[in-house]
Amino acid sequence: MKIVVFGSDKRTGALHDGNVVDLSFACAKRLREQEGEPSPLEMAEALVPSDLARLIEGGSRALEHAQNALDRPARRDTYSSGRGWTAARPPAE
């Protein structure tokens, strides 16, 4: 997994199939869809922080959750920023 920082908010993402995927949003989608998590954005931010320093602090556990989020099948519910990256839309709370 190649980690990148992108956007004006300097969010943490990963290169995946030629795009940048927002790792925290991708984790939130997985939590909502596969586990029925009632607060997926908050849980994802704890598991796969959108801030690079906090992701590094999360160590192997954070990277494992990030990889699991990337491994889920691609869905149509992604958007393009028009800046060369895509990100999973955050799930509705």
The per-residue pLDDT for range 31-54, each reduced to its tens digit, is: 888 888 889 899 999 999 999 999
Domain boundaries, the chain: 2-88
Confidence of residue 78 (pLDDT cuts 50, 70, 90): very low
Q: pLDDT at residue 62 above 90?
A: yes
- Find out whether 4 and 20 touch, Cβ atoms under 8 Å: yes
Confidence of residue 90 (pLDDT cuts 50, 70, 90): low
Dihedral Cα 21, 22, 28, 34, nearest 10 deg = 10
Confidence of residue 87 (pLDDT cuts 50, 70, 90): low
Tell me the C-alpha distance between 85 and 21, whole Å: 7
- Mean pLDDT for 13-37 is 87
Amino acid of residue 16: H
Q: Which residue has the higher pLDDT, 32 or 64?
A: 64
Q: Residue written as tokens 């393009």?
A: 80
81 CB contacts (<8 Å, ≥6 apart)?
Answer: 7, 87
Tell me the C-alpha distance between 60 and 91, whole Å: 25
